[in-house]
Amino acid sequence: MCQCARPSCKSVVAGGWFCRRVRGVIFWLAVLAAIALADALWRHRAEARRRVVGALLVAALVVAALTAPGGPVLAKCVGRLAMPLGLLWLAMLVALPLVLARRPRLGGALAAIFLFYTAATSEPLAGWLLTYLEAPVADRDPFGEAPFDAVFVMGGGVQDGPTGPSLGPSGGRAVLAARLYHRGIARRLVASGSDVPGMERSGDGVALTETLWRELGVPADAIDRVGPAYNSRQEIELYAAYQRDHDLARVGLVSSAWHLRRALRLAARQDFDPVPLPADFRGDDDWFGAYSLIASSSGAHGVGQACWELLGAATGR
């Protein structure tokens, strides 16, 4: 039986010997083997060799059929393979055994490129990296905290839309702050963040955040703003100064869970010790076998996001 601890990792093969993620890996390895063996069968002319290769090809196809995803998941696999990143991934997957058989050095280079591309667009790797970044705050419940004199909110969560303020990819930050106010946990909300010169968008992000909060029922006299700040380090410096200037005893810091590890390191350099209040969790150590191994924009976004955080931590920004 499958020994995975997570309830979502279910036994999927007769006898339940391994879980769906192992099944997904075996499926794609079987596909690779089938492509290589079909190519070898076409190239070889010796009858004895062809019989052996043919038998191996049948075995690879049987393994692929036994480990292939079910109907609905298979349809999603086809859809993902039809996307630009998926098409490129599939092209390299098919080309890899063909090139290796004819030009081993070039095939080795292609294998390295394929592995790098797979990692850079991998949903499982993205989930693991983001889970690692979120680990320090994974068990923290913002709604279980005692009241704060002020809650600082890292910028980047609200953008301008056709109907006014719109939640961006990190919009959970602004929403969590408003919920904390209405629960009586945050007495005051403080926003920051500015468009980087040369990368301006329509609308002032801080003003849009303030407008959104007011539309969500937070009164104007419970909202403050600081700035300009073009990166996380500058935001933390402004928040640390705000706490000192207003002599605030207890403050919280809202940001995306995957960003808080870096934000707290920056805060420590300023002798600034806010309580972390995580929003927007994205880490996930579960994945869906063959489907999740296909290159995807969601995987590329998650890996890029995690690498950006790690780069920011390494450079102190």
Identify the pLDDT of residue 223.
96
Stretch 247-261: mean pLDDT, rounded? Answer: 95
Q: Which helix (H) or strand (E) holds 27?
A: helix 20-43
Q: What percent of the chain has pLDDT over 70?
A: 91
| pTM of structure | 0.82
Six-digit token string for 35: 């492509």
- Any idea how long the chain is? 317
pLDDT in tens, 32-72: 999 999 988 888 777 777 888 889 999 999 999 998 888 88
Angle at 34 between CA 49 and CA 91, to 5 degrees: 130
What burial class does residue 258 get, using C-beta atoms within 10 Å of its C-beta: 0-12 exposed, 13-18 middle, 19+ buried? buried
CATH architecture of the domain with range 139-280: 3-Layer(aba) Sandwich (3.40)
Residues facing residue 275 across a β-bridge: 252
Model confidence pLDDT, tens digit, residues 83-115: 999 999 999 999 999 999 999 999 999 999 999
Torsion angle defined by CA atoms of residues 256, 154, 182 and 225, in that order, rounded to the nearest 10 degrees: -170
* Eight-state DSSP code of residue 296: -
Long-range residue pairs from 208-213, CB within 8 A, at least 24 positions apart, any chain: 208/158, 208/159, 208/160, 208/164, 208/165, 209/153, 209/155, 209/157, 209/158, 209/165, 209/174, 211/164, 211/165, 212/158, 212/165, 212/174, 212/178, 213/174, 213/177, 213/178, 213/181, 213/189
Average pLDDT for the chain: 88
Give residue limits of the domains in the chain. Answer: 20-131, 139-280
> pLDDT tens, 210-250?
999 999 999 999 999 998 888 889 999 999 999 999 999 99
> Strand, coil or helix: what is 184?
coil
